[in-house]
Structure 1
């Protein structure tokens, strides 16, 4: 059985990329149970969040890449496929948390400027 999800783009899209012409994003499955609600009751995975290859939010040596765009998990009941930048140049001013040295070392194909 396959489940199809839909995504709503809301508000102003953030651009975490410094060079939007040269990057690679890959799909990563993220469980809605890993996302906590904000003060408005929305469950948003923010653009620029760091995730591992299993979809867990991290900031350590297991880092895989940066979430490419805000993803709304508010109405999700399971797993959503999220685009994750694994190669490219990221604008340090556009990400919610700066990566640790261990996270940067793990994401070998990403530069932060």
Structure 2
């Protein structure tokens, strides 16, 4: 039987500029994670699978993948606040994401 781990964070980063968006579920791994203290976190605003022509969407919220793969939300349509994401989108990624507007 699997265990369910629940971690409550006091602060959630909001990357959306407006509340209009469409997201789909995505399985996140440590490959795209950043080390934060003792944890591996896929940061909100990470462009996946890469910040280039292969881009499919933007991670909506921080996801802790320290203990293995976790499900997250990938924004595929909407408005993203560029000032709130960890890495600015490359021109190739912007072209690959025609349904996302970086403001």
> What is the TM-score of this pair, normalised by structure 2?
0.87
Runs of 4+ that moved beyond 3 A: 2-7
More strand by share: 2
Structure 1: gaps spanning 5 or more residues:
53-57
Structure 1 residues 32 and 112 mapped into 2: Cα distance closer, same or farther (>3 Å)?
A: same
1:11 and 2:42 correspond: no
What residue is the counterpart of 1:25 in the other structure?
A: 23
Offset of residue 35 of structure 1: 2.7
Name the residue aligned to 1:64.
56
Say which SS state the counterpart of residue 81 (structure 1) adopts.
strand
Listed one character per residue, the Cα deviations across residues 89-110 of structure 1 (whole Å, up to 9, x for unaligned) are 0011110100000000001100
RMSD: 2.0
Match of 2:42 in 1: 45
Aligned residues: 103
Q: Please, what TM-score do these two structures have when normalized by structure 1?
A: 0.80
Unmatched segments (≥5 aa) in structure 2: none
Cα gap change, 1:41/1:108 in structure 2, threshold over 3 Å: closer, same or farther? same
